[in-house]
Amino acid sequence: MTAQHVSSTLAEPNTDLELIPAALRRIRARFATGVTKDRTWRDQQLAGIERMVRECEKEIFEALHADLGKPEIEALSTEITYVANDAAHARKHLSKWMKPTRVSTPLVVKPAKAEIYSEPLGVVLIIAPWNYPFQLLMAPLIGAIAAGNCAILKPSEVTPHTSAMIAKLLPRYLDPTCFEVIEGGVKETTKLLEERFDHIFYTGNGTVGRIVMRAAAEHLTPVTLELGGKSPAIVDATADLDVAAHRIVWGKFFNAGQTCVAPDHVLVEESVHDALVTRMVAAVREFYGDQPQDSDSYARIVNEKHHDRLVKLLDAPGKHEVACGGTHDRSDRYIAPTILTDVHDDSPTMADEIFGPILPVLAMRDVDQAIARVNAHDKPLALYVFSSDTATQEKVLAETSSGGASVNHIWLHLACPELPFGGVGESGIGAYHGHHSFDLFSHKKSVLKKPTALDPTILYPPYTDLKTKLIKKVL
């Protein structure tokens, strides 16, 4: 199966809207039985995810390929194997995560033991995007399960093959009384958001994120928003340009640029601008050949709507020069890996997150100008700095704000399970991965345990002068 032959022929999935409130009532009643609080139950569900990935790897890949033309290596590394490893990591650490955490107690409450208990929130709603439609549904679900929650799962309707695959497979491997997959689009999501959940986890864009927050406010429901933004890559004159070119091109054109943490644009010191562009153009040819459309290593745009949106960016006259790429084929949902130079500030490519295989490269006078440009815009989900100078690396990290960052590479910080992944400001609210996922879906309950053998009367009325003097000394 080759990327140039993919097609998405399934109709948009849907669910009977009347079934949604009933499903939520059923799952909420099941949560109330306390079954999810048991460590063994949680471990069994996580083991089920591992087994599903192992036994259904081919079926999962075929769905991802049908929707996005994902090459097998890309599907394995960022979706299939990623989910299996995430579940295995949670199983390995589950007992430790579930144990109450002891904290110190001040003199005024001694003798006592103070602990933090992690308890499940209840029934959570997870709304997944289309660019990594399997991983970005399953990874939050793993955290929700580890923390002892039930869940309603809403896969993206934009990737119908993956949505259907998830709806088919999950009930076979997870407790069907505690989890429900709701397929569909806007009307199903709208109906879901009318209901009360104990947490809503949404991955997508800021426009829908605001809709989710407004709906959640009606029930005072906490939300996690994993959004995006124009993540920059800063390259200074000391950078290893060969390595930088390969890593930026790989990170940008992976999944045809449809990655929330892909470098949206490059800010490079002008003294090495031309050299970097030359190397990046060469890297595109090295990775995908002279005809990337024929490459089995290059994915496709998810649908014609997004293809047309990206073509409009390319067709803006006089706003940029094309260093490589620029071609497209709507019937194949193909846009060539494209590098742009001489990009104007008012170019459409610089207005919003590109989310596709188009990479503007802008020359900067120096790193200070690059930092100033980053800080003049919304805080991005990720930031990348390529430099051989440690002081420059630390300067960029210290003087900019982003959800996460990588030095001399692209988005590999996501591969570290104990690094929290999330945005800041416009790029998101909250973070997850590893232990942070468990914490996200847990309520941290403060517990103080006092013995009864000692019961000093100093705090009790009547409040005498002597008690006042003693209290002042203790406090």
Residue of 226, 269, 353, 426 marked catalytic: 226
Residue 423 to residues 138, 166, 287, 373, Cα–Cα distance (Å) = 19, 27, 30, 19
**What burial letters (b/e) apply to 401-419, b meaning 16+ CB within 10 Å?**
bbbbbbbbbbbebbeebee
Residue 249 contacts residue 280 (beta carbons within 8 Å): yes
CA separation for the pair 364, 447 (Å, rounded): 54
Does residue 286 have an active-site annotation? no
Does residue 260 have an active-site annotation? yes
Helix (H) and strand (E) counts in the chain? 16, 20
CA separation for the pair 189, 22 (Å, rounded): 15
Per the listing, tokens 């100078």 go with 389
Would you put residue 339 in left (φ > 0), alpha (ψ -120 to 50) or beta?
beta
| Helix, strand or coil, per DSSP, at residue 36 | helix
Half-sphere exposure of 166 (CA within 13 A, CB side): 31
Residue 301, phi then psi, degrees to nearest 5: -70, 145
Q: Is 214 exposed, middle or buried (0-12, 13-18, 19+ CB in 10 A)?
A: exposed
For 266, the enclosing helix (H) or strand (E) is strand 265-269
Q: Pick the closest to residue 198 from 132, 151, 131 (CA basis).
A: 151
Residue of 260, 269, 324, 426 marked catalytic: 260
Q: What does the block give as tokens for 280?
A: 């990046």
The residues annotated as belonging to the active site are 226, 260
